[in-house]
């Protein structure tokens, strides 16, 4: 092997209802990336038990994410769609990465600090160590690119650190096995088994904010359902939520600078831009000087036009769980074959008896 074969990997947790932020920030990117890339998309159900151990309907949530993938346009035949727990090699590699990673690295993860809060001693070990599992999710397929939001950039940097330490620590073993790729890290030549993963970040609205508070990210866990547009909402509910979205009394500006200090206005303009594949500047060129009483109905029409076909297909798929299960089972089998090839080589590199 002279170079790493390009491969895109990403996943979504099956916790709560998928919303507009998940669609614009992640799933729509997944759909676009599959046109020119080999892609693996995963429902990361092992991650879902780090923050909440007991779920009332985890199977239903897993199926819902898979349905959203497919309804949005991901092709499960050309690419791979599966649930993480169906491929035990994720957990196996995660244990190895737990031994590669340093405790200090994990303690620096800002998301752990945010989720654990002040009672860090009572947080689960899984919550602390889950970046190792995230690294394993990616590297068990030796993926080269990962579409991520800003909140996951630090975890992707950790994935690169884990890969680099493994490559350096086992470099001679990798070379003897004939598994690696010659590359340069900084100024140092390395014979690497795992690739330096690159983030794919971009789009008109990398972060979709709450409809009730433009300073907070749209979230499944927000107690107010009015804070988000869920992918399963019908047209009437979408209309109600957008019309009730918090705004300010001023008209929309004609220039981008006019959105500074107006988080709710910027959020709604960003959502319109993303849904219409336009820039914020183009949206302001169209609606600048107009009141929200004009802009909100236009945003409602656009959101319903884009989301209604997805919602309808999701409802159809969720009514045929056997079909979703068959897609996930097929994806799991294909994912396991790829993951086992990696793990067989990793076991040889480490020196385990197989």
Establish whether 13 is an annotated binding residue: yes
Q: Out of 165, 220, 240, 278, which one is annotated catalytic? A: 220
44 is in an annotated binding site: no
Written as six digits, the tokens of 180 are 């690696």
Which DSSP helix (H) or strand (E) runs through 339? Answer: helix 321-350
In order of 163, 199, 342, 353, the CA distances from 100 in angstroms are: 9, 22, 17, 19
Residue among 169, 278, 263 at smallest CA distance from 216: 263
| Cβ burial, residue 19 (10 Å; 0-12/13-18/19+) | buried
Residue 280, classified by CB atoms within 10 Å of its CB into exposed (0-12), middle (13-18) or buried (19+), is middle
C-alpha pair distances (Å), 330 with each of 16, 27, 119? 25, 20, 41
78 is catalytic: no
Q: Which of the following is catalytic: 29, 78, 113, 115?
A: 115
Q: Is 115 a catalytic residue?
A: yes
Catalytic residue among 217, 240, 246, 278: 217
Q: Does the annotation place 149 within a ligand binding site?
A: yes
Does the annotation place 218 within a ligand binding site?
A: yes
For residue 343, count CB atoms less than 10 angstroms from its CB and return exposed for 0-12, middle for 13-18, buried for 19 or more: buried
Structure token digits, residue 79: 């690419």
Q: Rounded CA gap, 180 and 193, in Å?
A: 4
Tokens 């220039």, residue? 255
Who contacts 242 (Cβ-Cβ below 8 Å, separation ≥6)? 211, 229, 268, 296, 299, 300, 303
190 annotated as ligand-binding: no
Q: Is 5 a catalytic residue?
A: no
Name the helix (H) or strand (E) containing 29.
Answer: helix 28-33
- 63 φ/ψ sector (left φ>0, alpha ψ -120 to 50, else beta): alpha
Q: Find out whether 208 is annotated in a ligand binding site.
A: yes
- Residue 75 assigned as binding residue: no
Asked whether residue 17 is marked as a ligand-binding residue, the answer is: no
Count CB atoms within 10 A of the CB of residue 333.
Answer: 13
Q: Is 342 annotated as a binding residue?
A: no
* 239 labelled ligand-binding: no
Q: Which residue has the tokens 């620096």?
A: 108
Query: Is 225 known to sit in a ligand binding site?
Result: no
Binding positions for ATP: 13-15, 21-22, 149-151, 208, 217-221
Binding positions for L-tryptophan: 137
Binding positions: 13-15, 21-22, 137, 149-151, 208, 217-221
Q: Supply the residues annotated as catalytic.
A: 115, 217, 220
């Amino acid at each position: 092997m002279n170079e790493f074969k390009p491969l895109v990997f990403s996943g979504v947790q099956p916790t709560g209802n998928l919303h507009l932020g998940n669609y614009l920030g992640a799933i729509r990117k997944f759909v676009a990336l599959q046109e020119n890339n080999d892609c693996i998309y995963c429902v990361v159900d092992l991650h879902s038990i780090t923050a909440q151990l007991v779920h009332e309907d985890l199977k239903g949530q897993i199926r819902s994410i898979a349905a959203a993938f497919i309804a949005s346009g991901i092709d499960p035949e050309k690419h791979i769609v599966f649930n993480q727990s169906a491929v035990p090699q994720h957990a196996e590699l995660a244990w190895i990465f737990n031994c590669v990673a340093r405790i200090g690295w994990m303690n620096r993860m800002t998301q752990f600090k945010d989720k654990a809060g002040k009672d860090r001693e009572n947080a689960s070990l899984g919550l602390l160590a889950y970046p190792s599992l995230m690294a394993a999710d990616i590297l068990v397929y030796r993926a080269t690119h990962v579409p991520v939001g800003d909140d996951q950039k630090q975890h992707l940097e950790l994935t690169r650190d884990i890969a680099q330490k493994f490559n350096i620590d086992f470099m001679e073993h990798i070379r003897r096995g004939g598994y690696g790729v010659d590359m340069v890290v900084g100024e140092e030549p390395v014979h690497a088994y795992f690739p330096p993963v690159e983030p794919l970040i971009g789009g008109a609205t990398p972060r979709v904010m709450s409809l009730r508070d433009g300073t907070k990210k749209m979230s499944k866990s927000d107690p107010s359902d009015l804070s988000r547009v869920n992918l399963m909402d019908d047209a009437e509910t979408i209309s109600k939520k957008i019309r009730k979205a918090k705004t300010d009394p001023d008209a929309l500006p004609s220039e981008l600078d006019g959105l500074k200090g107006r988080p709710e206005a910027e959020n709604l303009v960003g959502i319109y831009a993303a849904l219409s594949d336009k820039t914020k500047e183009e949206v302001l060129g169209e609606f600048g000087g107009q009141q929200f009483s004009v802009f909100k109905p236009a945003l409602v029409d656009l959101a319903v036009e884009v989301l209604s076909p997805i919602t309808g297909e999701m409802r159809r798929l969720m009514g045929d769980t056997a079909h979703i299960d068959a897609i996930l089972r097929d994806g799991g089998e294909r994912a396991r074959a790829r993951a086992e090839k990696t793990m067989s080589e990793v076991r040889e590199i480490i020196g385990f008896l197989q």
